[in-house]
Amino acid sequence: MPALIETCVPATSTQETISRKYDVTQNGFLPSSAPLRRLTDPYYALWELLAEKLPELLERKLLRYIVDSSQVLSTDRLQSEEEWRRAYVVLVFLAHGYIWGGDRPSEVLPPQITVPLLKLAEHFDLPPCATYAGLVLWNFETLNNDSDFSDPDNLRAINTFTGTESESWFYMISVALEAQSAWVMPLMVDAIEATHSRDYAKMKKGLEQIIIAIKKMDELLKRMYEKCDPALFYDKIRPFLAGSANMEAAGLPNGVFYDEGDGKGSWRKLMGGSNGQSSLIQFFDVVLGVEHTGGADKASVPKVCPVSGMATEESTSGCPVSAGKEKNMGYHEKVRAYMPEPHRRFLRSLARMGSLQAFASTPQPDAEFEQVKELYQLACKTMGDFRCTHIQVVTKYIIIQARKQPVGETLNLAKASSASDGSDLKGTGGTSLAAFLKQSRDESYEAGRVPDQPAPGVSSEYAVM
């Protein structure tokens, strides 16, 4: 099996290697230090001013007017990677504010946003829209200059659409989830490598710790209720996170036209920002061997190139997937195009290393194997339980809210969702929400159903509760 960790002298730690090769830091998929708060070059002062005043401009419906009256700025003056990330955050907030910041969504994104945003997206090999990276990973600050990003009370979003604590808290819970699970990642890489040498100690250590990590994630996710108001989230925040794919009912039948000026441009259908784009959740799926193959995973995935957002028959050139392959991609696979490139490369490399699921499914005649197998089963159950908690959160913040009578005449995701009968609610990523989440939960539980063939006379201290 391909090795993720190089063998070299002197020995390089797993954390050092995944950081160097895949930009997986001591904070996991978060940066090694807090993101840049603003671009200091006066040339970009307008971008920063619009981002700072975005909630007010959206409330007064002035953003489109100001953007349309401004000039197109170049990305040529961006220097460091931190500046490129900051610019990407600013532009995706402005893009979604422009698209969804009126009584009806704008089907055209003007050159003032399109031109620099396409350059930024190309730099990161990310789609030109709001992604988990732009909303969460690169969009936070600490309140006391602490390097610990795992406490949401010590975090605040740099930019929001609404200027509310609810929106900031929504993003910061995700930042904390990412940070508090970072420590388990090198342990699980070691655990997968240990399947080839049958190093039971490393496998047991990794599985014991991933169970703890997922339980901590579960506890953190339940803290969403503390400072994020469900009605405010549904009516005011969530509509701005929506993409342009599968948004016909919300007013974007053709997606969004990215106008590059001088008669150039293209229609694009892109997913919106979603926690489904978290590399961390897919990391847990990969190391546990959770396979997402069912119909709900594919049924509502738009038939477009995941990076460009253009119809596959128009975008096979330069698209990271061929048209033929793309049509068979499920959401979990396709959404990787919305992750930073080093992170999705890490997930691909990890998937080629081997599988704890395969190891646990091949009975071995010793007691330690049974301990590993039962720990593996417990880890899958814990992941399924976490997804149950996620469903409960989604039910409170989206499904229940969608049953209420929509307020106002603005056409957006909230209005379209409330107008439906609730049977086919769309997530911001464009998926059929309830079916997709339930299927993901069931597939987590299913991964742990390995053959139950213990060696004769073997007992284990690790009983699945």
Q: Are 282 and 332 in contact (CB under 8 A)?
A: yes
Any idea what DSSP says for residue 233? I
Q: Which residues, in sequence order, are bridge partners of residue 426?
A: 432
Task: Render 356-375 in DSSP notation, one character per residue.
Answer: HHHHHTS--SSHHHHHHHHH
Amino acid, single-letter form, for residue 141: E
Residue 390 assigned as binding residue: yes
If we measure between CA atoms, which residue out of 124, 123, 152 comes closest to residue 140? 152
H or E element that contains 156 = strand 155-157
Handedness of CA 128, 321, 283, 288 (dihedral sign): positive
Q: Are 380 and 290 in contact (CB under 8 A)?
A: yes
d(CA 16, CA 423): 47
Task: Render 56-79 in DSSP notation, one character per residue.
Answer: HHHHTT-HHHHHHTSPPPPSTT--
H or E element that contains 219 = helix 200-221
d(CA 89, CA 160): 10
Any idea what DSSP says for residue 137? I
C-alpha dist (Å) from residue 84 to 46, 53, 91, 120, 427: 16, 21, 11, 7, 28
d(CA 416, CA 339): 27
Q: Which residues are annotated as a binding site?
A: 390
Q: Which residues are annotated as a binding site for heme b?
A: 390
